[in-house]
């Protein structure tokens, strides 16, 4: 079988940076290394990190109290993952009896900065994204209490009356949807400030799916966590190209008998998918 691997598949630099920070502390003997929620949305990678002494505490949305236990002689450290957190959560974590290290993706930090700057100027913030996603929940903390999350034109129609509006996006959303919604919002608020905050890595991965289709892929295998927002969007984009799409976490999830029906298969992966899993899938597909 011919396998076309997307050049942009796998770790984005923000996720890789967060992992490197946590692993560096663990390798230096700082145990335990706590992370506020899962450091990465990949079960197999989390297992490897756990073996290094990196422990997930709290919850996925970074909202619950942190329960920790370690020996008196330990030197624990708390690492904030790439999704980022709200100012209130930051204050809470810094109040714990341990060192604090922020591994928020710089791209997410830029979004938070833009929201804060406009909120200080009395702008209402509108965020295009998933209201239950930890990145969005963290960003809402910078809106000075005047933030609104939208996912559709209907959500825009239901927004309260606002004087000054700033629109941003969760970093992993579809570019074309952001453009459509920004145009619609400006129909309601012609003076709205629109800032495209979809990160470059997300745009590259979305473009990569389109390129796989153009390069002759008859089906596309999307590798990544079932609950990973950016991976699910890649799978959806693949389906929108009218191509058979297989969203898997590992090779074991793939229906090999079904995939045998194709001569050329494209492979991409979400931003939290490690290279060793992508390599394994590609190698085994080539032998089918």
From residue 22, give the alpha-carbon distance in Å to each of 59, 106, 164. 18, 16, 40
Contact 265, 219 (CB under 8 A): yes
Find the helix or strand (DSSP H, E) in which 194 lies: strand 193-194
Task: Report the C-alpha gap between 56 and 40 in whole angstroms.
Answer: 10
135 given a catalytic annotation: yes
Residues 6 or more apart in contact with residue 189 via CB below 8 angstroms:
162, 165
**DSSP label at residue 173:** S
What is the DSSP code string of 110-121?
A: HHHHHHHHHHHT
Find the helix or strand (DSSP H, E) in which 37 lies: none
Q: What are phi and psi of 215, to 5 degrees?
A: -85, 5
100: left (phi over 0), alpha (psi -120 to 50) or beta: beta
Cα Dmax for the chain: 60
Active-site pick, 135, 163, 249, 286 = 135
User: Which candidate, 199, 202, 220, places its Cα nearest to that of 211?
Assistant: 220
Task: Report the C-alpha gap between 5 and 267 in whole angstroms.
Answer: 5
Alpha carbon 75 to its chain's center: 29
Task: Report the C-alpha gap between 44 and 73 in whole angstroms.
Answer: 30
Dihedral in degrees, nearest 10, Cα atoms 226, 230, 236, 238: -110
| Residues designated catalytic | 135
């Amino acid at each position: 079988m011919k396998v076309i691997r997307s050049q942009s598949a796998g770790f984005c630099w923000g996720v890789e940076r967060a992992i490197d920070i946590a692993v560096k502390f663990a390798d230096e003997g700082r145990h335990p290394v706590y992370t506020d929620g899962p450091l990465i949305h990949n079960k197999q990678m989390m297992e490897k990190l756990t073996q290094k002494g990196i422990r997930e505490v709290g919850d996925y949305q970074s909202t619950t109290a942190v329960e920790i236990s370690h020996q008196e002689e330990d030197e624990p450290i708390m690492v904030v993952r790439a999704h980022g957190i709200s100012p209130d959560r930051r204050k809470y974590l810094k109040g714990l009896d341990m060192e604090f290290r922020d591994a928020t993706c710089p791209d997410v930090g830029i979004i938070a900065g833009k929201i804060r700057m406009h909120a200080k100027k009395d702008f209402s913030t509108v965020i295009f994204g998933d209201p239950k996603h930890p990145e969005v929940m963290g960003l809402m903390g910078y809106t000075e209490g005047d933030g609104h999350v939208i996912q559709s034109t209907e959500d825009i129609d239901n927004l309260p009356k606002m004087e000054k509006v700033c629109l941003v996006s969760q970093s992993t959303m579809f570019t074309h949807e952001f453009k459509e919604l920004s145009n619609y919002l400006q129909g309601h608020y012609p003076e709205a400030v629109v800032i495209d905050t979809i990160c470059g890595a997300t745009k590259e991965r979305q473009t990569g799916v389109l390129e796989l289709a153009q390069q002759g892929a008859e089906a596309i295998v999307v590798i990544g966590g079932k609950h990973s927002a950016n991976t699910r969007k890649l799978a959806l984009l693949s389906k929108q190209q009218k191509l058979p799409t297989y969203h898997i976490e590992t090779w074991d999830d793939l229906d090999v008998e079904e995939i045998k029906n194709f001569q050329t298969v494209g492979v991409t992966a979400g931003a939290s998918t490690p290279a060793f899993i992508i390599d394994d899938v590609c190698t085994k597909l080539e032998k089918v």
